[in-house]
């Protein structure tokens, strides 16, 4: 499995709800449609104005395609939503746990 982590600084908090709506309605269908998609999570740290998302894929190729799709979508959408300084990285999952009590 491969994990993709993307972080964005939200420079204008007024765009937070609109940004999450657009991610849910526009970006998520794109990246979840990639063969090998496992899961997606996104969180907003309001105190720092930082949005972070985590995607999990079965293969390295799917993770890389996810980044390509997200970068393309982001170049057309993030700046107008007040989002700046995007960073992304992908790596192989070496330790995992699910369903811990």
Residue 39 lies in a domain: yes
In tens, the pLDDT along 28-72 reads 999 999 999 999 999 888 888 888 999 999 999 999 999 999 888
Whole-structure pTM value: 0.83
- Tell me which residue range forms the domain holding 27: 2-92
At 59, list the tokens.
């293969």
90 exposure class (CB count in 10 Å sphere: 0-12, 13-18, 19+): middle
Nearest to 31 by CA among 9, 4, 51, 1: 4
Element (H, E) at 44: strand 37-45
Residue 99 lies in a domain: no
Residue 100 lies in a domain: no
Q: Number of structural domains, the chain?
A: 1
Q: What is the CATH number of the domain that holds 7?
A: 3.30.70.100
């Amino acid at each position: 499995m491969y994990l993709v982590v993307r972080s964005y600084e939200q420079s204008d908090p007024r765009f937070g709800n609109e940004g999450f709506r657009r991610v849910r309605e526009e970006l998520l269908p794109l990246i979840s449609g990639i063969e090998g998609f496992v899961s997606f999570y996104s969180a907003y740290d309001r105190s720092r104005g930082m949005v972070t998302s985590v995607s999990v894929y079965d293969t390295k190729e799917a993770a890389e395609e996810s980044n390509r799709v997200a970068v393309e979508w982001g170049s057309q959408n993030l700046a107008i939503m007040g989002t700046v300084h995007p960073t992304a990285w992908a790596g192989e999952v070496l330790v995992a746990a699910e369903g811990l009590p």
